[in-house]
Amino acid sequence: MAQVAWISGTAHAAGGSRNYKLWVPATLEKGKASPLVMMLHGCTHDAGDMAEISGMNEVAEAHRFLVAYPEQSRLANLLKCWNWFDPKHQTRDAGEPSILAAVVGQICSTYNVDPDRIYVVGVSAGGAMASILAATHPDLFAALAVLAGAEFKAATSVSEGLAAMGRGGPDPLQQGQLAFKAMRSGLARRNKRRMPAIVFHGMADARVSPANAEQAIIQWGKTNACLSAEHSESGFALTETVISGEVPDGYAYRRHIYVEADSRLLMEKWLIDGLGHAWPGSPRASKYGDPKGPNASAEIWRFFCEAGAASTASLSSSDPLRRESRGKT
C-alpha cells in the first residue's frame, strides 16, 4: 500500500515547460496498473485550488487512481489561464498541448499507469483546453470532462475567446469536423473508435454562457460520428434520455444521457439550475466551488468507468436519434 503524498514535478516539451503536482492515494495497489486523471484548473488557480474545489483526491482515494494537476505559469498568461484561444496552443506538437501531454508521459514513465485509462478534466479555461487535448491527443486520452468550458477551438484570438464566453463559439458541427481532423496524427499512432465526453454547466453562469455546454455536446457528437464513419460503420445515431433530479437542499438539474443503439453510453450533459461559474458538488463553499450542485467529481469518475470502453470498442448504430424524458429521481 502506498503512502498518500503530493509529488511535485516539471515536464518539458517543444512548447516549453510547466510544473505539476501528482496526488498518489494511500489506497493505490502496488503492482497493479492505475488509472490517471489529469485536472486542468481555471484562471487564477493552481493545483491546490483545483484539488480543493473539486474534491477529486477523495474520489481517487476511494477508487484508487492517480490525479495530475498541471499548473499554468503567469509568464505564459498573467491570469494563469490556459491559452485555449490562441492558435499557438491548439495543435498537437506545439504549445501547451505538447507540454500537458509531456506531463502524462513523465508520470507514466515513473508510475505504473494503465494506458487505456488516462482521462482529462478541465474547468472554465481548463475545460476549453481539455477539449483541445482530447482532439490533439486521442491516442493518449480515453475520455474527457468539460465543466463551464467550451467546444474544440471555440476561438482563435482573445476577442473571439471573450465572444465565445459570452454567447458560444462557431458552428459546433463545423468544429466537430475540425476536431476529427486534429485527431489524425494521434489516430495514426493508436486506433480509436470513440471519444466519450461528459459536460457540466451552471444555468446561472454569468462568466461563461451555458450555450457552450450545448455546443460542446454537439461538437463531440459530430466528432464521434466522424470516427464512426472512419471505421466504415453505418447509421451512427444517438438516443437522448433526459433525467431530472435535485440535490437535497440544493439545486435542481437535468442530466442528458446519450447512448448508441446497443445501449452503450457515449456522452452526458448536466445542466444545473442556480449554479454559477463554479464546480458543482464541491466539498465546501467557495468562490469557485458550490456544494449545492451534484457531485461532479464522483459523476465524472462514474462516467469514465462506464463510457471509457467505448474508446476502442467496435460500435455501430442504425436507429435514428430519438428523445425520451423521465420524471425526477
Domain boundaries defined on the chain:
5-237
Res 3: pLDDT: 59
Res 319: pLDDT: 30
Res 198: pLDDT: 98
Res 165: pLDDT: 96
The CATH code of domain 5-237 reads: 3.40.50.1820
Q: What is the pLDDT along the chain (329 residues), one digit of tens a residue?
A: 455 689 999 999 988 999 999 999 998 888 899 999 999 999 999 999 999 999 999 999 999 999 999 999 999 999 999 999 999 999 999 999 999 999 999 999 999 999 999 999 999 999 999 999 999 999 999 999 999 999 999 999 999 999 999 999 999 999 999 999 999 999 999 988 999 999 999 999 999 999 999 999 999 999 999 999 998 888 899 999 999 999 999 999 999 999 998 889 999 999 999 999 999 999 999 999 999 999 999 999 999 999 976 565 543 333 323 333 333 33
In DSSP terms, 286 is beta-bridged to 289
What's the distance, CA 66 to chain centroid?
Answer: 16
Res 312: pLDDT: 55
Residues 37, 55 contacting (CB under 8 angstroms): no
HSE, CB side, 13 Å, CA atoms: give it for residue 250.
Answer: 18
Per the structure block, which three cell numbers stand in for 263?
Answer: 445501449
Res 252: pLDDT: 98
Cα(36)–Cα(208) distance, integer angstroms: 28
